[in-house]
Amino acid sequence: MKFFPTRQTDAAGPDRRGFTLAEVLAALLLMGIIVPVALQGMSVVSRAAVLAQRKAAAMRVAERVLNEHVVLVSQGQATQGAANGVDTDGDASYPWTLQSEAWAEDAMTQMTVHVTFTVRGANYEMSASTLFDPGASTPGTASRSSAGTP
């Protein structure tokens, strides 16, 4: 009969398994530093994504308001010097103000829409402007004047 000797190891031997207390504490310290930094980074990314979505929605509202008012002008309905209202996009409301004023360089009119919104207690404003010729028969085209035209 053969006997196989069993290996006896002491605590300081090379075959020990597991982590020492110092290794566990170092890992916990590292996790304690990395996890809060990662969570803060995710919070910043989340805020930036919400702000970007709201800015895009505000610009859609501004473009919609500008287009509606340019069509009204082309139909002969005079637009006031200023107008305001509230439009919704998705689940949020966007208050807007419209300013219409003569452009100093040509016989054009400049319309500017300012759309405001709030994200996490901070107020933001997006603006969109367009120039149009109120004397043109078709929106987006310049009117022809007979003076100086061959």
Count of alpha carbons within 13 angstroms of residue 98, beta-carbon side = 23
Is the CB of residue 127 less than 8 Å from the CB of residue 62? Answer: yes
Residues 27-83 have pLDDT tens digits of 999 999 999 999 999 999 999 999 999 999 999 999 999 999 888 877 777 666 788
**Which pLDDT score is estimated for 147?**
40
Taking the domains of the chain in order of start, what are their residue ranges? 21-132
**Res. 118 pLDDT band, cuts 50 70 90:** very high
Pick the closest to residue 85 from 66, 101, 72 (CA basis): 66
**Res. 144 pLDDT band, cuts 50 70 90:** very low
pTM (2 decimals)?
Answer: 0.67
**Which pLDDT score is estimated for 77?**
74
**Which pLDDT score is estimated for 81?**
78
**Which pLDDT score is estimated for 23?**
93
Amino acid identity, residue 146? S
**Which pLDDT score is estimated for 4?**
67
CATH class of the domain comprising 21-132: alpha beta
**Which pLDDT score is estimated for 138?**
59
Is the CB of residue 65 less than 8 Å from the CB of residue 86? Answer: no
95: its two tokens? 């208050």
**Which pLDDT score is estimated for 107?**
82
